[in-house]
Chains A and B, each alone.
Chain A
Amino acid sequence: MKSDIQKVRNIGISAHIDSGKTTLTERILFYTQRIHAIHDVKGKDGVGATMDSMELERERGITIASAATYCQWQGHQINIIDTPGHVDFTIEVERSLRVLDGAILVLCSVGGVQSQSITVDQQMKRYRIPCIAFVNKCDRNGANPRRVVAQLRDKLGHNAVAMQIPIGLEADFEGVVDLLTMEAVYFDGPNGEALRREPIPAHLLDEARTQREALVDAASLFSDALTEAILEEAEVSTAMIVEALRQGVLARQITPVFMGSAYKNKGVQLLLDAVTRLLPCPADVPNEALDLDHGEAPVLLTSRDEDPTVALAFKLEDGPYGQLTYIRVYQGSLAKGDSVVNVRTGKKIKIGRLVRMHADQMEDIERIAAGFIGALFGVDCASGDTFTSPQLRLTMTSMFVPEPVISLSIVPKDNKAQMNMSKALNRFTKEDPTFRSFVNEETGETIIEGMGELHLEVYVERMRREYKAEVVTGQPQVAYRETITQMADFNYIHKKQTGGAGQFGRVAGFLEPTDEADFIFDNKVTGGAIPTPYIPACEKGFRACLAKGPLMEFPVTGIKVTINDGAAHSVDSSDMAFQAAARGAFREGYHKARPVVMEPIMKVAAETPSEFQGAVMGLLNQRRGMIVGAQDEGPMCVIEAQVPLAEMFGFSTVLRSATQGKAQFTMEFATYRQVPASIAEELIKKAAEKKKKVA
């Protein structure tokens, strides 16, 4: 494996669903000679795009897992993580971004900056990923790459600068004018592999000159040499502009925009040039780890091969040969036979087989150098684990993992399915921290939890296909919560004298709502009214009540308990007695504190052609949605709304049928809000019925 770090690019391809990310990746692999034939994303030819390695992905035409692959272009090694576009799989996108040094933001020249592009852009900002943009689908009806460049500026706040202008558009899209070299570039041959450079067509010359001037002006902000050359009217070389742009890109101060049509094999090679010229190598990007021996103080990693190793496992996959762990080495190197420590578990492991991945094909390698991405075999770990040399105790910063908002019960059809289901759940929960599973003690059902309906559906499908685990799924359940809305006192005595040792404890204080945490316990008992050794028992008693709220048995959140008085008995008081007293006190205060049920509210962005705007608003309104606003985008319109998750089941089908399949939506968790009284009553009825059944 070559290890010149300057010639490595770890990049991601991020965008809105259906912007053509996977097609673009496929073309990149073709031009870099990693594959020798081009396949469609939706598998019309029965093969499917190379990056969509899971059967399910090919069937649905979407990318779910981030397949990692690598290729070479002009002496550079490019590691590509193909990231999923659907918001349900955002954890995958975020994980990919964590290990990337740069990214290509793919935008559709018809749809422009769409809601998901905004989410992905925010994620890139969070991880400070430098990026370049590619306006794809210039061959489509309604293509308008100039509008997309303007949207990048207006909607995403990027300092977007066009690097090219299109020659023709829609069906007449022929190629691009390269504003760096001031040449027209055409893509000949059956697969656009032969680049033909010609003088710029006369009708585009004026626009090209103006745009180049704007490009050079924008670049000059990042290079004194370029500014001087402009002021002195000296020759401005391409290398000078590229270097200035690169500085701007690394600082995330400028976003160069390229154009083309991956599907029609146009513009991809120039984009690859830009990846090698403008995006950072691993050494350009500062990476920090946390030192566990010094209170998690941040430590800057070096990206030198000779330093002790720090590596992050960012993705797990269960392949035919066992667990495959995708890993990025930040500092030092990983070689066959090396010993490293999994910082989370403290376990020492010996590196066995190392591979380099190309979607679902692999190639054995001896070593992964600093800055490189590879994969390990036979290592038991979870996603997000850090591996270091034994002398270090560093961990890579943890990723934000949102709480699941939806759950589903699953029941295996037979004994064989039961075994396979356990295996699958074990694997999936390790792979994806937003996917969780547990067994409901009362019903004995296995419950899976995740970030959306589609998220859970995909895992159920994967169980069937990859693990042959046939399961029956229940109705999706929303993760309701309980909370209180006003302050209420409690003063509870727990007294038991029915033979044997007695029990006595009195706990007094008050409950109040809080925004600061899910649960706060405040001890204001003075004068030893409750002896200090029993205070932890009180807290334990209160905490025990949180898992199942007295109202409807949903978890209780946002509650502060203050105890300020109580009483104990020298013989009959015990930890047990005070725990019981606290539980009684909680029940007493809770019902007086006007408890309510809270439901998850999703932020929904529905994109629809303008003519269906009214219909889509009607659909959202029917679902208890509060429409925040509507954004007119020419032929399309984006409706932003806040809708209870409970009302969003099956929405994609309804939306598609109401808009001739032309509308789509994304949603993400926004907040918890009180359930309206009528819905709460229904929930109470359902809960009572369920209780009866269990009994």
Chain B
Amino acid sequence: MLNNDLTLRNPMRLLGPSGDAPLAAGAFGAVLARAGVGKTAFLVQLALDSLLHERKVLHISLNDPVHKVALWYREVLAAATACKASRPATSLWESLQPRLFIMTFRVEGFSVPKLEERVTDLTAQEIFAPRLILVDGLPFDTEAVEGMLREFKGLAGRLETPVWFTVRTHRHEAPAPGGLPPQVAPVADLFEVLLRLNPEGTSIQVQALKGGPQGKSALPMILDPATMLVRDPEASS
């Protein structure tokens, strides 16, 4: 089955024990990178890993409209199943789609209470109950972010869901005293896992700044810039 095949081949399993989510309920993870390196692609693959394990994913985007986010999923899935026949890939997408809910907000209009209201609308009517939340595009450069993240922590706890964020870093920026990028240094205590995508040569290394598996900082995975797919550098391509 294509579903099983993808689950087995998915290098995201290297982030945590097989079949388990890489983050515990209520925990925070973040993917840090400069603009255009592949944060969203990475996030989408985290989501696909969950979807393939039949866990529902709420994808919140503060950058892109719904159709564009949906397109990310289709593109990543198409790339991941490139060697497979089109019909099973289409039917796989159709089977995954009901487990995915995309919400988009304008950055200035986004707030945690508003999100909670929306999520409650969905859960109360039994339309959708997320098991993983992804937040793409939250501006970490603002002063308000700390307060918002603390509110988010409360929401994640109430919903019993892990939350992954993307954090945009900048090229010529000195790290904060602890060695972390200045965007996350003040709020690092809220995060269980911090992963940085680091372009090196022709590939993009995935580096754990905090909470890597078995405490390792260099993770056995890279992001292939040609396909934007995460892969195991040891595995044959």
Residues on A close to B: CB < 8 A? 154-155, 513, 515, 613-614, 617-618, 621, 626-634, 638, 640, 673
Question: Which of B1-9, B119-127, B215-223 contacts the other chain?
Answer: B119-127
Question: Roughly how many angstroms separate A628 CA and B128 CA in the complex, as a whole number?
Answer: 11
Question: Roughly how many angstroms separate A626 CA and B102 CA in the complex, as a whole number?
Answer: 12
Chain A residues with CB under 8 A of B125: 614, 617-618, 621
Given A614-B125, A617-B121; A628-B87 close (CB under 8 Å)? no
The contact of B105 among A613, A618, A632, by CB within 8 Å, is: A632
**Shortest Cβ gap from A360 to chain B (Å):** 39
The contact of A628 among B66, B110, B122, B124, by CB within 8 Å, is: B66
Chain B residues with CB under 8 A of A634: 106, 109
Pair B121/A155 contact, Cβ less than 8 Å: no
The contact of A629 among B70, B94, B121, B127, by CB within 8 Å, is: B70
**Shortest Cβ gap from B130 to chain A (Å):** 13
Chain B residues with CB under 8 A of A638: 66
**Shortest Cβ gap from A100 to chain B (Å):** 26
Chain A residues with CB under 8 A of B90: 515
Given A628-B66, A629-B102, A640-B67; A617-B127 close (CB under 8 Å)? yes
Pair B66/A629 contact, Cβ less than 8 Å: yes
Pair B97/A617 contact, Cβ less than 8 Å: no
Pair B127/A618 contact, Cβ less than 8 Å: yes
Q: Which of B49-73 contact A (CB under 8 A)?
A: 59, 65-67, 69-70
Pair A631/B87 contact, Cβ less than 8 Å: no
A-B contact pairs, 16 of them (CB 8 A): A515-B87, A614-B122, A617-B121, A617-B122, A617-B127, A621-B127, A628-B97, A629-B66, A630-B66, A630-B102, A630-B103, A630-B104, A630-B118, A631-B104, A634-B106, A640-B66
Given A617-B122, A629-B101; A673-B94 close (CB under 8 Å)? yes
Question: Roughly how many angstroms separate A626 CA and B94 CA in the complex, as a whole number?
Answer: 10
Question: Roughly how many angstroms separate A673 CA and B91 CA in the complex, as a whole number?
Answer: 10
Q: Quick check: is B86 within 8 A (CB to CB) of the other chain?
A: yes
The contact of A155 among B65, B87, B103, B114, by CB within 8 Å, is: B65
Which 8 residue pairs across A and B have the least CB separation, nearest first? A629-B102, A614-B121, A629-B66, A632-B105, A631-B104, A621-B127, A618-B125, A640-B66
Question: Roughly how many angstroms separate A608 CA and B105 CA in the complex, as a whole number?
Answer: 15
Q: By the criterion of a CB under 8 Å from any partner CB, how many residues of chain B are at the interface?
A: 28
Chain A residues with CB under 8 A of B59: 629
Chain B residue with the shortest CB-CB distance to A516: B86
Chain B residue with the shortest CB-CB distance to A513: B87
Chain B residues with CB under 8 A of A633: 106
**Shortest Cβ gap from A628 to chain B (Å):** 6
Chain A residue with the shortest CB-CB distance to B87: A515
Q: Quick check: is B98 within 8 A (CB to CB) of the other chain?
A: yes
Chain A residues with CB under 8 A of B121: 613-614, 617
Pair A627/B127 contact, Cβ less than 8 Å: yes
Pair B127/A631 contact, Cβ less than 8 Å: no
Chain B residues with CB under 8 A of A632: 103-106, 109-110, 114, 118
Give B28-60 as 1s and 0s: 1 = Cβ < 8 Å from A's Cβ atoms. 000000000000000000000000000000010
Chain B residues with CB under 8 A of A626: 97-98
Question: Roughly how many angstroms separate A632 CA and B59 CA in the complex, as a whole number?
Answer: 13
Given A627-B128, A632-B105; A515-B86 close (CB under 8 Å)? yes
Give B67-93 as 1s and 0s: 1 = Cβ < 8 Å from A's Cβ atoms. 101100000000000000011001000
Question: Roughly how many angstroms separate A613 CA and B104 CA in the complex, as a whole number?
Answer: 13
Question: Roughly how many angstroms separate A600 CA and B37 CA in the complex, as a whole number?
Answer: 39
Chain A residues with CB under 8 A of B101: 627-630
Given A621-B125, A621-B127, A634-B106; A613-B118 close (CB under 8 Å)? yes
Given A617-B125, A621-B125, A640-B66; A629-B118 close (CB under 8 Å)? no
Question: Roughly how many angstroms separate A640 CA and B65 CA in the complex, as a whole number?
Answer: 11
Give B111-151 as 1s and 0s: 1 = Cβ < 8 Å from A's Cβ atoms. 00010001001101101100000000000000000000000
Chain A residues with CB under 8 A of B94: 673
Question: Roughly how many angstroms separate A363 CA and B97 CA in the complex, as a whole number?
Answer: 56
**Shortest Cβ gap from A115 to chain B (Å):** 10
Chain B residues with CB under 8 A of A155: 65
Chain A residue with the shortest CB-CB distance to B110: A632
Chain B residues with CB under 8 A of A628: 66, 70, 97, 101-102
Chain A residues with CB under 8 A of B86: 515
**Shortest Cβ gap from A402 to chain B (Å):** 19
**Shortest Cβ gap from B66 to chain A (Å):** 4
**Shortest Cβ gap from B147 to chain A (Å):** 20
Chain B residue with the shortest CB-CB distance to A613: B121
Question: Roughly how many angstroms separate A634 CA and B108 CA in the complex, as a whole number?
Answer: 9
**Shortest Cβ gap from A621 to chain B (Å):** 5
Question: Roughly how many angstroms separate A628 CA and B118 CA in the complex, as a whole number?
Answer: 14
Question: Roughly how many angstroms separate A614 CA and B119 CA in the complex, as a whole number?
Answer: 9
Question: Roughly how many angstroms separate A154 CA and B104 CA in the complex, as a whole number?
Answer: 13
